[in-house]
Structure 1
């Protein structure tokens, strides 16, 4: 019985030593050391929401482009002379060139803009952050169209957090050098290793 208790204490102690060693490489004074394997430091799996968002964007694109075709195919009709007590809206001839082409082009631009904005919104939300085993680079996994993953790896020196994990309200904006706009880390996600996140991806750097 005494030997069993000692073995349990030894296992717990070894587990704590492993965690402390892992964190010390990035918190204390050894950030350049390599890891035994890649480390997941953040996770926010919200695939269903972003898949629905993708379908919404695509439906808007199809709808507004269909409206554009309808506008461009409208025939010009003349209003009858005996119609007098009609609202000004009903007197507009949308089949005229001055109405047909602007409305068609506006519909195409609107549908395309909604689709692009929606897909960019999905692609800028971070699903996973993985610290590579070299300790000097991090892999981003974001949401692509219809729930697919977008994956890229960048050096840590090219990543700058615009807010700390404790001060951010709903999301932590991350700027990646060479990328347009910012990536968003939802604070409601799971920070698997919060200390490692703070000392690697969560640092504010001059880019």
Structure 2
């Protein structure tokens, strides 16, 4: 299978290319370069983290807000204080890239995704605020988008580093000399930590918002 670092880097900057479609190509490239750690990170990003303790920090303790279901008005902000928000309205997102991306695609800008509270947390919070209504955590679309942009940015930075070492053009395989030249770049943590720090300034694409017809009939293509 042929793959190109140049093309991979370009794809990270194209909102028309979903991250769920980019990651398998990145895995192929990492495998060809014998970047075992990078390939392993990409696979678990794609599949999801079975063990949340092994998830990177950009997936952990993500801030949301508590909402309550009103029979009259639907979902509305719950009457919680700052401490209750801090205790109950933060989530870890361990799902695979495709699931997270579909959640993000399904949200309009300014909206979010409701996630059910843990049963014990629900009972505890209902008691604290003296409210029997259904409660949930609402995570904004931007929280999902930022997580996905961070993973995309890590792939962008890895590709950029490979290009700086002269690994460019289409390849069906890489020579031992080429692999040796970039073996020091087999460090996913280096790139996702850099991505966390620089995601707002890197030229990576955000998750686009689906149009009405795409939401009704499914994504085109």
| Range into which the TM-score falls when normalised by the shorter chain | under 0.3
The structure whose residues are more often strand, as a share, is: 1
Provide TM-score, normalisation by structure 2: 0.22
Provide TM-score, normalisation by structure 1: 0.23
Structure number with greater CO (CA < 8 Å, separation at least 6) is 2
Larger Rg: 1
